[in-house]
Structure 1
Amino acid sequence: MSPLVVAPVEEDGGSQCRSTCDDFVEVGSKGVTLEYEPHFGGNAWVTRELKAAGKVTLSRVFFFRSSDLVAETAHGAAHDDEADEDDRPLYRFRFATTKDGYHRIPGRILGIDNDVLIVAEGIAPDRKVFVAERNISIFRRIAKLKPGSEIVVGGDRVDSIAVEAFGELLEIRLYRGNSVPTKELSGTIMQAEKYLFHLSKWGVEGERELSKRYGSALPAGLQIRVTNPKALLLLGRDRRTDGTGGLTENQSFDLEVIKRKYVNMMDIVPYDDLLRRLDRIIVSLTERAGSAGLGQRADKRGTDRRDSTDRCAGGGDASGADAC
């Protein structure tokens, strides 16, 4: 996932949620912060830049000063590039203030002279609103068309860009009208293909090695055989935090095309899809358990009736005879 994270600022200065840039987030009443946590490589360079120059550039799009730093919080206090990922600090920068229904982003943060106002209701402040493919600044391009004036997106102001028009502007980044896999998905697919290639090439020797390595976890007498191995890729989401769809109809269709392309080699499953599958399994097992319980009760009633009939036919005891 992208290392840039957008989170809300609440009245107490804390954040009530944290989300990757590909997700929508709830926004607090005071403004928005941008959280930076590298997922690949170290983060010591951020501290070095802030101390040496008093400023830092993230993703070639966001420009922050030391005064914008809200907090450098734990995971841990380690600044070493070789430190464990859980021990690296999380950087939180003041990104926007919220007032009169707009998030106001100082132009200097986006590397332009124009302040940017984005309507608080209707557009979530996630990364794709600001950054196109190859870390191209979207608002830097817009600023060339509106030199010196505020850039307003959404709302009732006469000089604003309509939300629908801004959405269409973002969609222009599609490749000839098609959604393309993200870097993370493309890289994961390539990694899985290499795993499958080497696993198949390993042959009988690999089967013996795997059986030996995992023998203690296998039932007695069972050996591993490798025939047409298939990978499971679990990544990304297709739902927003409020449960609504996170993909457009065209995006969902293009994702399905990609999934079918690799169906013989791997199963690409978003986390939300995994949860839906688990829900269906739970419902199915619950229904089966309920049906089994009804069947057992029905069998018991049938057995009781047969026992009663047998007692009546055989005379039974005194109380049984009276009942018959």
Structure 2
Amino acid sequence: MSQCEQPKYMIKFKELDNKILLCYSSDYPTHNWVYHELDKSGRVTISKVFKFSQKNLSSAFNKEDEEAPVEFEVAVKDGEYYRFPKDILSLKHDLYVHEDIKLERRFFVAERNISIFPKIDNMVNRPIYIGGDEEDAISMPVYYGLLKTFPNTNELNKYVSARISGVLSSYIEINDDYEERYQQYLNKKNGRKGANLQYDFSNLELIKFTSISEKLNSMLEDEVSYTEAQWQEELLQIILLLYPKYIHAFKEAPVRDTYNKADRKIDYLLIDSSGNTDIIEIKKPFDKCIVTTRTYRDNYIPLRELSGTVMQIEKYIFYLNKWGKKGEEKLTEHYKDELPENFKIKITNPSGIIIMGRKKGMTHEQVQDFEVIKRKYKNVIDIITYDDLLERLKFTISQWSKTHNKLIQATGRGMGR
């Protein structure tokens, strides 16, 4: 840094012999008052922030050059940092500022002469580090972001007007809605902004859903090579990725048939992150298992395979609901080693998912009647064909692709990071 010259502003910093000097000058009143104050009381406060004593003074009064700035030693070099003694800034801990940081008054003082570091110092129990690689150091982008959060004069005035009008409006008529104006100002002001998670994960989501789509298409092209059990296991992996709310699927989960006093087994019991239970039935996608090929009174009706699967899930839901709290305790105990610690399984109006059949090859009328059948059970059971799954994947991939491309254009970043 260059030597101090007559500053344009009142305060300037310079580096000299591994020290930082604060240079203070003033046109009116002249800065010579600083020397008089030090002679009189032994201490002086500069810019309502920096508190100096005679021992910090690095310059001397010069009658021949009264415009020369007053200089104080404010920091000394300590490794890659400059250490600001706590008493100079009225802190409980020393302040360390990295050597690469350019110092200026606004680094220490916010609008209306608010001293920044005492605010931070009151919230921590250790020295404050700004910049560099020190553990727990505040990075410069974060620190300058913090400076922007301090209210400026305009914001403070609007806030005061809003508070006053809020009290007075109950008693007298106010000529404007100052509270609304303050809220409008806050809405326009840039708030806290973190990492763009959509950008960070959009490419990963594209890869994930594209891989799922390719996997499902491959399975459907070669379904005959899978046994029913193998098919269910493979598809369950896909379902857990498509429905991330579920954290586990238990095969042959026990359930008590309290009416017949018998133990039953649910093919797959889904558990979501809140502990709630749902049931899923997965069938291989053989043809003609959804609706009839001929109409009954001008309607296509469910085939036995679909009707039987719906009935099976309805019975499982019935068993679970009747089992109630005792069932929750039994299931929680049964699966405690496979679930997070203190996790509780809940039976709260379970719903069902059926994955079976193809819409491929169905007529328009058959598809329409199938939609009527699906909606009949919609409040309890979601009936999904393999073509529905493929379509959902197609739209999901398309949307993530658009999102990713828009974010690349908006941020100016390429695919690689």
TM-score (normalised: structure 2) = 0.34
Higher relative contact order (CA 8 A, sep 6+): 1
Greater Rg over alpha carbons, structure: 2
TM-score (normalised: structure 1) = 0.43
